[in-house]
Structure 1
């Protein structure tokens, strides 16, 4: 199976071998690299964007002892790992396969292909958030547009915000923000919310939350930061257009972990999340998982980092005590 990869890649290019490969360069992957390198493992982290979606956080207030941008925090993560010898490969992962000695990864960067090999693997991909694909959305990411209320909500204390979505994540975000913001607009395209009844009951009790049903956002506008959203509400075949003055917009219309690339390795999944033990072990020997790739309850930088540390320790124990026995 692995020979096919070798054949379709440039034959003269040398294959680089590592003890451990980390797929994903967000908080979980960067922490895994730091811990693995401190265990004297030869480790490489692969990701299209070093820092992942944590880079989008304008200010981070929930990493103990730090207040600053997510991008600067991720830079510190990377630099600390590099200080202990971790390697960082900014590339797209084309293929992942298992061979008798571990795992073969085919990478692509600027139309150039490269193959790397690792004895063990940590899957630390983040979540791909669904976007509204609206005018102004990309422009205002980190400037009022957010995809995580628990990450960025404190930045809007005493301000007016909107949440778009109608399922549990949107409802939970609206309730969380109602304890922080001055006013919360919950905007949903259908005539009723799809969240759990208990959440719906809580929303109805909150005076700070105003729900706009049968409504869609058509544009996000502002200067240096978000200032207003344009909304269309359709009821009884009549459409009303209006603007809402807001300081922030939280987009909660779903997402999924980016785990499809490892779907052929025999891992157990639960709604696209990799099933792990508390030690971050998966159903396949030599593969560990961390961060948003798993079914953890709280999706935060601090919890992702904890997962990464645990996955690195488990990978170290596997390589030290089990790997050679399996290959014997």
Structure 2
């Protein structure tokens, strides 16, 4: 509950500073301030957002969200922005980007100090995966494709492993990009644990069925063990958030925000992934491991849209340029 109290305090501070923005944006800014390791004034954040708006030729809201993600964890923003743009340029040259959220994906990966060889493997692995599916290129999708690219093994074997998990999940949860993101997460873990995690996703979705939580977040909750253990804590946090006026017209974000805040404190998640794919700075890895913002959906930082033609086969579908 302490983190929920901190979040609400940040939300109260942000409201007057960004009075022209909608509640969904304020909620996201407060989230970044709550889980971030760095704090900057509203004027500094807006200055960075203005710079990004011009440099990236993007909308003011999208630039502000991206600036918020940068300032939350980076004391020296120019170097971070330079690294982000370098990685974005590489991905764009290989058509592995979406017009609106490509920079948030590049921001996330830049914090993992990627080697050129791993970036190349990421593109090659994505090319194999999209032969079977139609993707909307998004931060969670590409981030976990990147994680797989850092692991050992032939790319065809990695792609086959991911597809095996996806087929199991699809039988339970249907064909969708959210289902595929969960497959990407579980495929990083030992095969002997897959059935247990899938059962826990099913249990989590049943417990929280009234709250319309994206499946990828059920997947993350499943990594923590029995979903029943966490329900009371999540309910208390959600109740505290629900009473805030900023959620009056964004009731859809109440439970999702509670889950995101809760997950950001669970450092055990780091232990479930190979140490080779995580940054060396410990717990600071968790927030941007789980929540790279999707700028195609400014209501919250989930993985964005689900393509109705996801299992369409053919060439798949990159994000386009």
Please indicate the TM-score interval, normalised by the length of the shorter structure: under 0.3
**TM-score w.r.t. structure 2 length?**
0.23
- Which structure would you say has the larger RCO, counting Cα contacts within 8 Å and 6 or more residues apart? 2
Q: Which has the larger radius of gyration?
A: 1
Structure with the largest fraction of strand:
1
